[in-house]
Amino acid sequence: MAPPVTVNTINPKVIECEYAVRGEIVILAQKLQDEIKIKLEAHPFEEILYCNIGNPQSLGQQPITFFREVLALCDHPPLLDKSETQGLFSKDSIQRARKILDQIPGRATGAYSHSQGIKGLRDTIAAGIEARDGFPADPNDIFLTDGASPAVHMMMQLLIRSEKDGILCPIPQYPLYSASIALHGGTLVPYYLDEATGWGLEVSDLKKQLEAAKSKGIDVRALVVINPGNPTGQVLAEENQKEIVKFCKEEGLVLLADEVYQENVYVRKKKFHSFKKVSRSMGYDEKDIHLVSFQSVSKGYYGECGKRGGYMEITGFGADVREHIYKLASVNLCSNISGQILASLVMSPPKAGDESYESYISERDGILSSLARRAKTLEDAFNKLEGVTCNKAEGAMYLFPRINLPEKAIKAAGEAKTAPDAFYCRRLLTETGIVFVPGSGFRQVPGTWHFRCTILPQEEKIPAVVTRLTDFHKRFMNEFRD
Amino acid sequence: MAPPVTVNTINPKVIECEYAVRGEIVILAQKLQDEIKIKLEAHPFEEILYCNIGNPQSLGQQPITFFREVLALCDHPPLLDKSETQGLFSKDSIQRARKILDQIPGRATGAYSHSQGIKGLRDTIAAGIEARDGFPADPNDIFLTDGASPAVHMMMQLLIRSEKDGILCPIPQYPLYSASIALHGGTLVPYYLDEATGWGLEVSDLKKQLEAAKSKGIDVRALVVINPGNPTGQVLAEENQKEIVKFCKEEGLVLLADEVYQENVYVRKKKFHSFKKVSRSMGYDEKDIHLVSFQSVSKGYYGECGKRGGYMEITGFGADVREHIYKLASVNLCSNISGQILASLVMSPPKAGDESYESYISERDGILSSLARRAKTLEDAFNKLEGVTCNKAEGAMYLFPRINLPEKAIKAAGEAKTAPDAFYCRRLLTETGIVFVPGSGFRQVPGTWHFRCTILPQEEKIPAVVTRLTDFHKRFMNEFRD
């Protein structure tokens, strides 16, 4: 009897789905790492330098002390009644933990919460959004989730009925979007960010792509905007955001705003504006636009990826549709409570006068200013490489340099049955231990090649990354020079 | 312009999906609770007694101290270097936290882990499975997940291609299964548990239902077995499990074994046997049967629902299929690290000689023996009610009594456009504050009516539940007596 499940009998949508950020190159990197662990001289490098994923703490970034103090106290509340605790924890972390426990029904951090998340924590988050935007936020619009990814899946599940439903996505895009659209059986409708203008988003291109999709019978349901950009690192100008909001209103599109990098802005002349603030400042309210904003505890200066916390703020949907979103949230019961607590903390960090305030500011600013320096160093290094151009990382955690590969390299890639940028990244990995993600994993303008590099290796490792990359690149270009 | 998203334009699979455990009755209960908070005399009861969901800590069950000590130390590792910590934490919790941190790359509890979960924790879990079963377990077969629900979704996503793919599910069933099958667009193929024999599972019925589905052109891909049963509370006999395993092998079905209640067995003559152990003891190995076992930190004596931890152990699938399962896990990056740590702890609790061992045993046995007493008290109370019969809760956290409703009540329910058991549960809620879930939410033999009641209210509350229920039931039966 044939085995019941083979690749020929599983859901073809699963096969179609791709996720390069943890794909082939990364799996190879893990293999090399295991080999080095057994035999240090197995490869021409002593460690793997993971620049593939926005995972700051895996590369040595330390968590914010105040956040972890609060989490530890909430995990083990009997600590709050012990005198030794005063010496071990900051005063405001103790106060905050008490306040959070009071907000949790029965102080039970081990209980399933309300499907949208603990109401008191949603109150705190809504207050944080109000303070950020200057416009009201309703705790009943907040759905706490295990990071932003499950929230994106939930919206795709809601919106996509068949392959005739399209979602406008930036190209290049974070592959969560292409993966989620593929898994839910919809169609990704691409719009292209303009590399020549620093990954600018032209509404004229949006219009063109929307019309092209419509003419193919695609019902375009939503527009995804990632701001600050992933993998592209640009920060949208407020004027540009207004055009996008107007476009969504006029075309009847849900605006899915991926705003997980809202704290990661590295240039003085740019500032993060939430799409909710922008649309409200234009006088648009709930009845004018369906807007979903995604936030995560994984990014920012906090970088708490492993805690899987995040939320989406949903505005503009009718009460009956909201009931179905609530039901979807209910089927998975609730997001994890530590992640929920952390989401409330990142939206309400220590304030001036709190005991932890100074250490918090110093930790936060230390991380953000170091990220800005690392972005600049890597950007400069890329721009010095033959045939490579790299836009500024205004925000987020990535650079997405373009590489003009020699014809001979493209031909060699073809013979190896791989994309030219994947060919480059694989060689880079096996020769230097550096892990980049090929641009083809994010999609790109056909005929152009890129890779994504995070700015996350600790500062003392950046010179090694630059040296190894530069030496490799010279060798590679010499080998394949036409 | 019409709003872009209405109930008429969302994914019909979302509309079709139902999840009674957090459905209509529970939403009403939350509303009543809010009303009582504002005005204590708003309703004829002073508190809502939630018996709708297996959420022990929401009803006052305390977490296991050792587990929470370890979690707190892992959340805030600087505690490990402080002398005060020795006085605040047990010795073995400090040792365990150090060991776990050593297993986490870079000791980074805030980093995304390997998509399947931290390797060292999977090693611990595999060792725990081996100790439980007496057969080897491979850490590479373990996928750590945010509770068991996402694991079930992942398998449904893998197996279901269209409505022509069927999944055999027990009736009554835990509504996660019907919800997940609906969301992924498959067909639930029912098999009926026999109430008259204590919710027995007859392989002859499985065969009959399989053939009936095949004759309708359904490709049945998997069999779901929940053991101990939810909502039915039965514990399968080993001989019965062998028949099920043989049936799956012969029919080429994936066996999806929901074993989240493996620690919840309340009768001396029954014992939990994992399906993996049963199949290996029959001499069946990887090539004979595709088997997935689900486990969770939410149930057992631990009841850590809010931590969202769990795992699935996947055996028998080919390497190429496994790669796609790995990719599905990767799209959501990883499960939360606290949940991962907790999953390793429940599969490896303190051992004799450890400082925490005695308190751990006393906490564990206190919870389990109390649950057994509560189950018995409620079972007896149900069996005393006119027209109600209730099987023994051998395991899990529920009773699923059957109620023979008077014709007049069934008619009144019809007039109220609701199922008769939902009509009963709604009246019970509004008159007593007790929350049961109507049997129709779990599906049942047509023409029979049930409700699910958890055994989780704290012991001192059980007499009030019994009195209120008994009084209500008398009034209800008198009102609707034919």
Q: Rounding to the nearest 10 degrees, give the CA dihedral for residues B269, B274, B278, B284.
A: 180
Pairing of strands B310-315, A49-50: unpaired
The answer to whether residues B378 and B325 belong to one domain is: no
Q: What is the pLDDT of residue B360?
A: 98
Per-residue confidence (pLDDT) for residue B20, from 0 to 100:
74
DSSP class of B64:
P
Chain A residues with CB inside 8 Å of B253's CB? 4
**Averaged pLDDT, B336-346:** 98
Comparing CB atoms, the residue among B15, B250, B304 nearest residue A110 is: B304
Are A16 and A48 in the same domain? yes
Q: What is the pLDDT of residue B462?
A: 94
Q: Are residues B141 and B250 in the same domain?
A: yes
Which CATH number goes with the domain that contains A430? 3.90.1150.10
Does residue B463 have a cis bond before it (omega within 30 degrees)?
A: no
Nearest to B339 by CA among B87, B31, B67: B67
- Give the burial class of A14: count Cβ atoms within 10 A of its Cβ; 0-12 exposed, 13-18 middle, 19 or more buried: buried
- CB pairs A-B closer than 8 Å: 290
Asked if A323 and A267 sit in the same domain, the reply is yes
Tell which A residues from 357 to 416 touch B, by Cβ distance under 8 Å: none
- In Å, how far is A386's CA from the nearest CA of chain B? 34
Residues of A in contact with B112 (CB under 8 A): 53, 55, 58, 298, 305-306
Dump the DSSP string for A28-62: HHHHHHHHHHH-GGGSSSSS-EE-SS--GGGGTPP
Partners of B75 on chain A (C-beta within 8 Å) are: 68, 71-72, 75, 338
Q: Where are the beta strands (DSSP E) in A200-262?
A: 219-226, 254-258
Q: What's the confidence (pLDDT) of residue A1?
A: 62
Determine whether the interchain pair A7/B321 forms a contact, defined as Cβ–Cβ distance below 8 Å: yes
A5 touches chain B (CB under 8 A): yes
Concatenated DSSP letters for A248-277? HHHHT-EEEEE-TTTT-B--TT-----HHH
Contact A71 B76 (CB under 8 A): yes
A203 touches chain B (CB under 8 A): no
A119 interface with B at CB cutoff 8 Å? no
Contact indicator for B52, B436 with CB cutoff of 8 Å: yes
Is there a domain that residue A187 lies in? yes
| Pick from B4, B114, B287: CB nearest A253 | B4
Cis peptide before B77 (omega within 30 of 0): no
Sort out which chain A residues have CB atoms less than 8 A from B108's CB and list them.
57-58, 60, 306
* Contact: A6, B108; criterion CB under 8 Å: no
Which residues of chain A have a pLDDT value below 70?
Answer: 1-2
Distance from C-alpha of B295 to C-alpha of B149, rounded to nearest angstrom: 10
Cα separation, A424 vs A403, in Å, equals: 10
Place of tokens 């996350």: A456
Q: Is B8 on the interface with A (CB under 8 A)?
A: no
Q: Show which of B319, B346, B373 is a domain's final residue.
A: B346
Give residues 49 to 88 of B whose Cβ lies within 8 Å of A: 53, 55-60, 63, 65, 68-69, 71-73, 75-76, 78-79, 82, 84-85, 87-88
pLDDT at B1: 62
Residues B320 and B384 both lie in one domain = no
d(C-alpha B409, C-alpha B66), whole Å = 50
Chain B nearest C-alpha distance from A270 (Å): 28
Residue B275 counted as domain residue: yes
In this structure, the answer to whether residues A286 and A407 fall within a common structural domain is no
User: Is residue B4, in this structure, part of any structural domain at all?
Assistant: no
Query: pLDDT tens digit string along B68-116?
Result: 999 999 999 999 999 999 989 999 999 999 999 999 988 999 999 999 9
Is A68 within the bounds of a domain? no
Exposure letters A99-127 (e unless 16+ CB within 10 A, then b): ebbebbeeebbbbbbbbbbbbbbbbbbbe
Q: Is the peptide bond before A139 cis (omega within 30 degrees of 0)?
A: no
Q: For residue A79, which residues of chain B lie inside 8 Å, CB to CB?
A: 72, 88
Does residue B418 sit at the A interface (CB-CB below 8 Å)?
A: no
Report which residue type is found at A57.
Answer: Q
User: Domain check: are A141 and A272 in the same one?
Assistant: yes
* Residue in chain A nearest B184 by alpha carbon: A184
pLDDT at A443: 92
Candidate from A159, A330, A336 with C-beta closest to B5: A159
pLDDT on residue B2: 63
Dihedral-angle region of residue A172 (phi above 0 means left; psi in -120 to 50 means alpha; beta otherwise):
beta
Scan residues 227-246 of B and list those with Cβ closer than 8 Å to A: none
CB of A107 within 8 Å of a chain B CB? The answer is no
Q: Are A456 and A59 in contact (CB under 8 A)?
A: yes
Inter-chain residue contact B146 with A308, CB threshold 8 Å? yes
Q: Report pLDDT digits (tens) over B285-317.
A: 999 999 999 999 999 999 999 999 999 999 999
Q: How many whole angstroms separate alpha carbon B157 and alpha carbon A26?
A: 24
A57·B111 Cβ contact <8 A: yes
Tell me the three state secondary structure of residue A185: coil
Cα distances (Å, whole numbers) of residue B65 to A88, B302, B349, B360: 19, 10, 11, 7
Q: Name chain B contacts of A184, Cβ cutoff 8 Å.
A: 11
User: Which residue type is seen at B173?
Assistant: Q
Q: Does B336 lie in the same domain as B371?
A: no
Interchain CB contact of A338 with B (< 8 Å)? yes
Element (H, E) at B433: none
AA identity, residue B293: S
Please state, for a pLDDT cut of 70, what percent of chain B lies above it: 100
**Domain co-membership, B22 together with B150:** no
- Has residue A449 been placed in a domain? yes
Cβ within 8 Å, pair A324-B112? no
Position A219 in a domain: yes
Whether residue A223 lies inside any domain: the answer is: yes
- Establish if A3 belongs to a structural domain: no
Write out the residue range of the structural domain in which residue A250 sits. 112-346
Q: Which two tokens stand for residue A143?
A: 């759905």
Minimal Cα–Cα distance from A387 to chain B, Å? Answer: 32
Does the beta carbon of A146 lie under 8 angstroms from any beta carbon of chain B?
A: yes
Report how many domains make up chain A: 2
CA A352/CA A373 separation, integer angstroms: 27
Question: Between chains, do B327 and A290 touch, taking CB under 8 Å as contact?
Answer: no
- Residue at which a domain ends, from A295, A313, A346: A346
Amino acid letter at A446?
P
Same domain, B279 and B308: yes
pLDDT on residue A22? 72
Do the strands B49-50 and B142-145 form a parallel or antiparallel pair, or are they unpaired?
unpaired
* A46 and A148 fall within a common domain: no
Q: Is A318 on the interface with B (CB under 8 A)?
A: yes
B167 inside 8 A of chain A by CB: no
What was the ipTM of the complex prediction?
Answer: 0.95
**A336 and A302 in a common domain:** yes
Predicted pLDDT of residue A2: 63
* pLDDT at position A481: 87
Q: Tell me which residues of chain A, numbers 261 to 300, contact chain B at a CB-CB cutoff of 8 Å.
A: 287, 290, 298
Q: What is the CATH number of the domain that holds A264?
A: 3.40.640.10
B249 pLDDT band, cuts 50/70/90, is very high
Is A161 near chain B, with CB under 8 Å?
yes
